[in-house]
Amino acid sequence: MPRLLYGGDYNPEQWPEQVCAEDAELMRRARVNLATVGVFAWSKLEPAPGRYEFGWLDGVLDRLAGNGISAALATPTASPPPWFGLAHPEALPVTADGVRLSHGSRDTYCASAPAYREAALRIAAALAGRYRGHPALAMWHVHNEYSSACHCELAAEAFRGWLRARHGDLDRLNEAWSTAVWGQLYTDWAQILPPRATRYLPNPAQVLDFRRFTSDELLAAYTAQRDVLRAATPGVPVTTNFVLGGWVPVDHARWAREVDLVAIDHYPADPGAGAEEEAAFAADLARGWARHGTGRPGWLLMETAPNLIYAADRMHTKEPGRMARQGLAAVARGSLGVLFFQWRAPRGGAELFHSALVPHAGPDSRVYREAVALGEQLDRIAGTAEGAVRARVAVAYDEPSAWALQAPGLPSRRLDHLDEARHAHRALWRRGIVADVIGTLGALDAYAMIVLPGHYLMSDAQAEALRSWVAAGGHLVATFLSGVADEHGRVRTGGYPGALRDLLGVRVEEFHPLGPDDRAALTTGAAGELWSETVHLAGAEAVVCYAGGVLDGRPAVTRHAVGDGVAWYCSTRLSADDHGRLLGAVAASAGVGPELEGVPRGVEAVRRHAGDRSWLFLLNHTGTGHDVPAAGIDLLGGDVVAGVVRLAVGGAAVIRER
Amino acid sequence: MPRLLYGGDYNPEQWPEQVCAEDAELMRRARVNLATVGVFAWSKLEPAPGRYEFGWLDGVLDRLAGNGISAALATPTASPPPWFGLAHPEALPVTADGVRLSHGSRDTYCASAPAYREAALRIAAALAGRYRGHPALAMWHVHNEYSSACHCELAAEAFRGWLRARHGDLDRLNEAWSTAVWGQLYTDWAQILPPRATRYLPNPAQVLDFRRFTSDELLAAYTAQRDVLRAATPGVPVTTNFVLGGWVPVDHARWAREVDLVAIDHYPADPGAGAEEEAAFAADLARGWARHGTGRPGWLLMETAPNLIYAADRMHTKEPGRMARQGLAAVARGSLGVLFFQWRAPRGGAELFHSALVPHAGPDSRVYREAVALGEQLDRIAGTAEGAVRARVAVAYDEPSAWALQAPGLPSRRLDHLDEARHAHRALWRRGIVADVIGTLGALDAYAMIVLPGHYLMSDAQAEALRSWVAAGGHLVATFLSGVADEHGRVRTGGYPGALRDLLGVRVEEFHPLGPDDRAALTTGAAGELWSETVHLAGAEAVVCYAGGVLDGRPAVTRHAVGDGVAWYCSTRLSADDHGRLLGAVAASAGVGPELEGVPRGVEAVRRHAGDRSWLFLLNHTGTGHDVPAAGIDLLGGDVVAGVVRLAVGGAAVIRER
Amino acid sequence: MPRLLYGGDYNPEQWPEQVCAEDAELMRRARVNLATVGVFAWSKLEPAPGRYEFGWLDGVLDRLAGNGISAALATPTASPPPWFGLAHPEALPVTADGVRLSHGSRDTYCASAPAYREAALRIAAALAGRYRGHPALAMWHVHNEYSSACHCELAAEAFRGWLRARHGDLDRLNEAWSTAVWGQLYTDWAQILPPRATRYLPNPAQVLDFRRFTSDELLAAYTAQRDVLRAATPGVPVTTNFVLGGWVPVDHARWAREVDLVAIDHYPADPGAGAEEEAAFAADLARGWARHGTGRPGWLLMETAPNLIYAADRMHTKEPGRMARQGLAAVARGSLGVLFFQWRAPRGGAELFHSALVPHAGPDSRVYREAVALGEQLDRIAGTAEGAVRARVAVAYDEPSAWALQAPGLPSRRLDHLDEARHAHRALWRRGIVADVIGTLGALDAYAMIVLPGHYLMSDAQAEALRSWVAAGGHLVATFLSGVADEHGRVRTGGYPGALRDLLGVRVEEFHPLGPDDRAALTTGAAGELWSETVHLAGAEAVVCYAGGVLDGRPAVTRHAVGDGVAWYCSTRLSADDHGRLLGAVAASAGVGPELEGVPRGVEAVRRHAGDRSWLFLLNHTGTGHDVPAAGIDLLGGDVVAGVVRLAVGGAAVIRER
């Protein structure tokens, strides 16, 4: 029988025995079925080099198993013990400024250091050896939120090796990096360094390659552990939790091919209604990675905060019921379950007020009671675990493009590929159109429509893939800056957006970035923000033009019929609603509509499908009740729904459709 | 005959002989009686290691004595000479990032370095040896504004020693520091470091203990000098000037026990009316430290700027008369005199526009004329030196709590214990209620009412002391976050505010921090800011409730009768006026009223008492004249006051009451 | 026949042969006659130590010569190759925090390192040896934008040597630096360091001298190259491109004496109308440096961006025609031509979107077409190259004063000598009064009026030069802070502004800095901002007084007749219009009026003169057409102008006057 995973990070090593005994009882009451254990336990498992203390973990896993709870057992390699850095100072990371970091926090290691790699494999192998066959072991959770770069000499040497493999010889590297600019031609591999503190602006191609290198270096650290674990426990899935954000030097689309299950951590920043849009984006991105990586659309929400949203200046306590509704929303979009960080709030440490299912106040609390209710709900909709979300629209989000747009020296400091991708996704979400967010431009046949939101980097192969897909009937919407640079971040000359010029049928001569308060009026009465351009038609037709200013009368949005498909170009940033109208119209012409017609704004409607069966998730994020058209059985309430379901304020329904 | 000290920092080493001769004449005209000399004179006193040049200082002290002016003779150890760091590079301080600082400014030394400690004691001993018995010597001013931390290896070793003494063994340290979080269990003392640059957030308990260690390390440097000086000049009081501010790693309540006289430097930041409130807070804090430290309420304003207030973006020139009125206000609150930084404005250096009694313009200036007038006023009220301020209300300000609330990872970035303490003090000040600000929760019997304004850290002993005091009739007002954590910064679980839950008769389940523009409406019509909470009654009664929002109808302010006393809890931040109304009502029920009834807002009224004699200080900080009820002799004007005294705009009266 | 230089930076080393071939054709079409080559070519010219590869540069220069284009040949020493720092790690620069920088950007060298000096001279000599006599060689462009400081041990040793030469002995240095403050008296030269990271505020005199040292150290690096080049190619002028801005540790007034031609790079920050005012200031400053340095008023705009203005948050694309009009404006103010950075937009590197005459879009672009048109215009007005601008007003801008006002510890954080100088210049510019901006207070006889806008530092000799000049009939307007400090940054005591007190006939007792929203009302109805003062008359008369506040009725603007001249003092910052009224009135009394009467605001009018011939440049920066009185032949349009010339929106005229 299918089930949805439910639980979260569990740190019994922080607590005395009686608390752990209570935990087991509380987990059972909440129907928790998966606990992530050992993420930060290295110093307790191996208090001195080579001296292992597994007894306490034996007890933890035995108790979990005894209570019918599975374990996602972590390798604790994200946080080496204090002894590690003292024994291997060369394995501590160095910043771009040359500061060698000290232990005392977490993530303090250099992934290129042999001593670190070896120590990590030893503890992983020791765990695999001890717990292979343990009844609680259901999943391997390797490391935690891989994201740490290092600029030391060991990293430099590894970087050079990676560059040799990527570029082959120095001439090609010099060409790719444009080192003739500012006279930094390399004539010996030994001259190449990570981007360390230098006098003025760094070389953006070097920075971009260093991020790619870091991603691959961390991936190698992951796969080495994965292979040890797979060899020891062939049937147990191995994964690691992806952390999102433009600062993370990890290309998750590549990583998705190396995990048995795409798992993400999700912490929204907007305490308002935007949190639901952020969560939907993250879910659809995880699903996109999974679809192109593991080949299956299922993914797992590995961490999210139960009851708090971490805004910039403070923690926002979620309104009653929001935690559960957000959990259901993740399942709606294909998550295999709902896992929280964390089970029990810690007394101390750097995140001592981080949210938990058992808060500081203890189980006599709203949060724990909501956790119990959510556990019951997830049981009722366990059957949905079989279903998969189907999307015929894709939004492309390319992490290297996001990195490249972080460089100084670009025409505007406010360019952010992640923002643009979220903006396009938001426009679709508000219209109820389900989209995958994809990290690769291969295997596009499943989609009738693709949005490229400022997809700055584009290789020839990517451009060709898009061209073929459009010619075969695809509907493409590219926004400004897409295709402007090649995979090394070099501008393609002759008119923007070089790689897509022919496909889009336009030639952009000049950029006109807009200031925070500037608006570019359009012939539709709408207004663009952030960006505008001098667009020349070169095959395309103008659908919307600029009105007034130096661009008066020039094309703003264009349409180009190519083969059986159409390629649209949007040279400015439309408001979410205006962008939604444009994308909705293109989707309609591509034969794609919203998941459900007649859904009020703020009510999320998504289906999971399994063969000819389907489950319709309806989530009312608004402050008023709504009637929504549906038919079937509401698994949450148990009612038969015949045509219309009533959603209370903040309410949800999961309808096994007829 | 008693006298009030008057004068300030005097740096004749910066000036040629003829200027120094003029200084003596100008000091006599201004009735200056105490000059602080030698604070930054180490490089002039010992221009090479072991080579002393005391001749110039002999001349300075002789001239002072010859003009009837005493000296607070400084040990110059706050600013080692350039040769020191070159001879002892290991004694230069190192930042958390590993940067070893260079000489060239001041305060550049490591207090844990033996070479520094020895050099400091040598110069102190040499000064004591030379000037014991000198007629000018009236006080030792050790060092200057102790406040400098170091993260070097010598500091690390000293930190480890301090931790051994504090925690005993590593198990207890690991427990106190919650090192199981993020896997940083220490298994050898050698693994423990100061909080150096690390990958991510530091351990807040480590940071807290490092601040405590730094305080004790600096204190040891102070007491070593003090003991040398006491031995050489048994009758001469020894002190050091405390510098205030949340960034200073010094627990002044502990230090107050080691000085013969609590002396503070005070530099307000608000050029507006808030400066007077800031000054009153600082004065009452110094008095509180003195009362619990030296055992006497007298303290000394050792430094303040004569004519400037240093706002964030510029210097604000005080309005005519304000300098003198602020000086009298310090005396009103118990200062033994008024000392300024500094006597004469320097021509150069980093603070070349710092205010002085003799400004760049010279004695033909408003400032110097006001200095002469103030000297005369202080002579007229010399008798008040015998008097002491009596306060039956205390506001608790706990520097370690302030440090702990500076950690990242707290529910709001705007939490600041000093702000909250000032806020409570301001509320009382505006109602004319005189309060001590106390740094320890011992010896509470003198007080009828105590306010705990976000007193975050609380040991079991502190909680028990409060409980006993309330049960014996005390009136306690605790505001949000008080008692939430133990002395190591660990949250007390089971419901906030753990240590005070029983005493307050409430159980707080959840925090709801508020954003800068948020307000929490209350049933009184008032509104809370910054913070709100889900409060459950557990013995207390609700006096004010939240109105609207998720907390609608829940308690906001509660009252709990305990034994002969009452414990109030305030779960949000009231405006200063609303907080004043609450505190005023509690004070009234505790039998405490304002110092003087019928005083207009903005007029400060405080008494100094000696036996049955009393002096009433009245200070009109407003822009209009006021009649204030009083009876006696106005020492400043010489008039007999029979029922009412007229205070001019910006005027003052000091009434020897009948 | 005279010609104006036209062209810009050209980097053929970034492009394949076919692009370079196209460049030659495009340059010819645009009438480009000067290309700056080789600025960043070191790593291509000397790919390994001592191994030169000149072949490609031979080809570049041959092709230029073959197309009638001259070369400003650069020495590439601003950007050493990667091999350099690896071979000479001690020649890489060190920050104040002790971080040794790595190659990878540009400007990464220590000018005090012998290895760098030697390597720079070797490549310069090699270039001179190879290209002496090459027909393309028209100018030497040494290095690029000298501006880099270093804090390493080699720099420290050189700094000590420089200080010995400047101060003679340590007593004088201690006195000049006020080291008695904070006890940093130096007793051995070896104790003196560059201003490295220290505990608290640095010594401002040390910082000031270190900037002067850096200027001289860089200048020595320049003159060493210059001498090598002059020896090899006696007839070829040698220069370097000055980069402007308060952060640059270069005293360009001194440097102007060492170049054969003052050349500046100009990048305005204001995309609005202010850009034209910024450009006029930069031009008049370059002319002032040239007049006092080379002795001739001609100068060269060596770099400016063709089509972009770099605002803080984004690049602003210039409106059509603005690039050419700004080029003409530079010529109007004495530039010997118009050179842009750069010829062709790069594909990569840190500045990949930097503007160019041939943009990414290629020659089929508005920018290139405008470049062609500008080339034609410059040909038509080639005769103006003979002319020189005549100015009888000077605004003094003293880079050391600007540095000194950047120190912390000043009465306001918003003091900026460059801002004040621009403010005064703007006030004059808006009234059409042509002024030199001068960097020295010698050779003042040419001027009828001088403005000292916050000229903070002033030596006795400078004050005396001003006094003599006023007594002989000069009209001086000094604004607040002028003359307050001596050349070491020491305040002159006895009343501000010490050095000018007698000349101005005032004595300032106190400063009253104003906050961002504060205004000081004046008796004229105008209002001062930023600053106000307590001014006492001491010979001068009050012309404008403060109205209200603590300064009510006191002098704000004063006038002092001295000999045959007049010295004005302005103690607050007037608005640009009010300041213009004041300066215009003083100018009128000095017999100086606008360049042309009857010119609408926003229309720039400047003449170049040669003997009795004159060319009137008229530049309409406004959005409307204007009729302007003029007579002669408009060289741009070819029309005879008889009394009035019609300027279209954004239009220009260059009139060979009758």
- In angstroms, the separation between the Cα of residue C531 and the nearest Cα of chain B is 10
Q: Looking at the partner chain, which of B43, B102, B107 has a beta carbon nearest the beta carbon of C196?
A: B102
> Quick one: average pLDDT of B389-401?
98
Answer yes or no: is pLDDT of C639 > 60.
yes
Cβ of B65 under 8 Å from any chain A Cβ?
A: no
Query: Are A204 and C349 inside 8 Å of each other by CB?
Result: yes
pLDDT at site A1? 55
A-chain residue closest to B184, CA distance? A81
What the block records as the tokens of C517 is 């929203």
Q: What residues does B607 pair with on adjacent strands?
A: B616
Answer yes or no: is pLDDT of B375 > 70.
yes
pTM over 0.90: yes
Amino acid code (one letter) for C621: H
Cβ of B267 under 8 Å from any chain A Cβ?
A: no
Cβ of C354 under 8 Å from any chain A Cβ?
A: yes
Cβ of A56 under 8 Å from any chain B Cβ?
A: no
pLDDT at site B246? 84
B-chain residue closest to A363, CA distance? B494
pLDDT at site C188? 98
Residues 6+ apart with CB under 8 A from C261: C139, C237, C239, C290, C294, C298, C299, C300, C336
What gap in Å lies between CA B202 and CA B198, rounded to an integer? 7
Q: Looking at the partner chain, which of B195, B509, B550 has a beta carbon nearest the beta carbon of A104?
A: B195
CA atoms in the 13 A half-sphere facing the CB of A276: 23
The mean of the pLDDT values for chain A is 97
DSSP B402: H
Q: Looking at the partner chain, which of B41, B83, B102 has a beta carbon nearest the beta carbon of C198?
A: B102
What the block records as the tokens of A621 is 């994020």
Answer yes or no: is pLDDT of C213 > 70.
yes
Answer yes or no: is pLDDT of C2 > 70.
no
Query: Are C488 and B348 inside 8 Å of each other by CB?
Result: yes
What gap in Å lies between CA A414 and CA A400, rounded to an integer? 17
> Which of B:69-88 have CB within 8 Å of C?
76, 79-83, 86
Within 10 A of C406 (CB to CB), how many other CB atoms are there? 18
Residues 6+ apart with CB under 8 A from B250: B146, B147, B214, B215, B218, B219, B242, B243, B399
- In angstroms, the separation between the Cα of residue B62 and the nearest Cα of chain C is 21
> Which of C:148-187 have CB within 8 Å of B?
177-187
Q: What residues does A535 pair with on adjacent strands?
A: A508
Chain segment B293-340, per-residue pLDDT in tens: 999 999 999 999 999 999 989 999 999 999 999 999 999 999 999 999
pLDDT at site A658? 83
Q: Please tell me the total number of residues recorded for chain B in this structure.
A: 658
Chain segment B249-266, per-residue pLDDT in tens: 999 999 999 999 999 999
Q: Which residue has the tokens 């209350």?
A: B522
> Quick one: average pLDDT of C528-539?
98
- In angstroms, the separation between the Cα of residue A552 and the nearest Cα of chain B is 41
pLDDT at site C98? 97
Cβ of B200 under 8 Å from any chain A Cβ?
A: yes
Chain segment A517-554, per-residue pLDDT in tens: 999 999 999 999 999 999 999 999 999 999 999 999 99
Whose CA is closest to A336, among A548, A608, A53? A608
Q: What residues does B573 pair with on adjacent strands?
A: B529
Candidate list A303, A399, A487, A595, residue with the active-site label:
A303
Identify whether the C-beta of residue C150 lies closer than 8 Å to the C-beta of residue C94.
Answer: yes
pLDDT at site B305? 98
The mean of the pLDDT values for chain C is 97
Query: Are A496 and C361 inside 8 Å of each other by CB?
Result: yes
A-chain residue closest to C77, CA distance? A183
Whose CA is closest to B349, among C107, C201, C429? C201
Cβ of B411 under 8 Å from any chain A Cβ?
A: yes
| Complex ipTM tops 0.90 | yes
pLDDT at site A597? 95
For the beta sheet containing A603-610, the strands, ordered from the edge strand earlier in sequence to the opposite edge, are A603-610, A613-620, A652-657, A626-634, A640-647
> Quick one: average pLDDT of A297-310?
97
Q: Please tell me the total number of residues recorded for chain A in this structure.
A: 658
What gap in Å lies between CA C216 and CA B125, rounded to an integer? 46
Dump the DSSP string for C521-545: EBTTS-EEBS--EEEEESS-EEEEE
Query: If pLDDT is split at 50, 70 and 90, which confidence band does B442 have?
Result: confident
- In angstroms, the separation between the Cα of residue B136 and the nearest Cα of chain A is 51
> Quick one: average pLDDT of C318-336?
98
Answer yes or no: is pLDDT of C370 > 90.
yes
Chain segment B164-203, per-residue pLDDT in tens: 999 999 999 999 999 999 999 999 999 999 999 999 999 9
Residue environment code for C109-138, b if the CB has 16+ CB neighbours within 10 A, otherwise e: bbbbbebbbebbbbbbbbbbebbeebebbb
Query: If pLDDT is split at 50, 70 and 90, which confidence band does A589 have?
Result: very high
- In angstroms, the separation between the Cα of residue C357 and the nearest Cα of chain A is 13
DSSP A346: -
pLDDT at site C499? 96
What gap in Å lies between CA A557 and CA A569, rounded to an integer? 6
> Quick one: average pLDDT of A173-184?
98
Query: Are C314 and A514 inside 8 Å of each other by CB?
Result: yes
Identify whether the C-beta of residue B349 lies closer than 8 Å to the C-beta of residue C408.
Answer: no
Amino acid code (one letter) for B545: C
Contacts by residues A358-362 (CB-CB < 8 Å, ≥ 24 positions apart): A358/A23, A358/A26, A359/A307, A359/B509, A359/B510, A360/B491, A360/B493, A360/B494, A360/B495, A360/B496, A361/B493, A361/B494, A361/B495, A361/B496, A361/B507, A361/B508, A361/B509, A361/B510, A362/B493, A362/B494, A362/B495
Answer yes or no: is pLDDT of A2 > 80.
no
Dump the DSSP string for B473-517: T-EEEEETTTTSB-TTSPBPPSSBSGGGHHHHTEEEEEE----TT
Query: Are B409 and A366 inside 8 Å of each other by CB?
Result: no
> Which of B:285-344 have CB within 8 Å of C?
307, 311, 313-317, 319-320
C303 is catalytic: yes
Query: Are B79 and C203 inside 8 Å of each other by CB?
Result: no
pLDDT at site C442? 85
pLDDT at site C264? 98
As to burial, measured by CB atoms within 10 angstroms (0-12 exposed, 13-18 middle, 19+ buried), residue C326 is buried
Answer yes or no: is pLDDT of C215 > 80.
yes
Please state whether beta strands A626-634 and A652-657 pair in parallel, antiparallel, or not at all (unpaired): antiparallel
Identify whether the C-beta of residue B402 lies closer than 8 Å to the C-beta of residue B246.
Answer: yes
Q: Which residue has the tokens 């210097």?
A: B315
Q: Which of A200, A209, A492 to mutate to probe the C interface, most C CBs <10 Å?
A: A200
Cβ of C104 under 8 Å from any chain A Cβ?
A: yes
What gap in Å lies between CA A519 and CA B650, rounded to an integer? 53
Query: Are B44 and C185 inside 8 Å of each other by CB?
Result: yes
Cβ of C89 under 8 Å from any chain A Cβ?
A: no
Q: Angle C170-177/C153-167 helices, nearest 10 degrees?
A: 100
Answer yes or no: is pLDDT of A404 > 80.
yes
Whose CA is closest to B588, among B431, B479, B389? B431
Q: Which residue has the tokens 């409106």?
A: C319
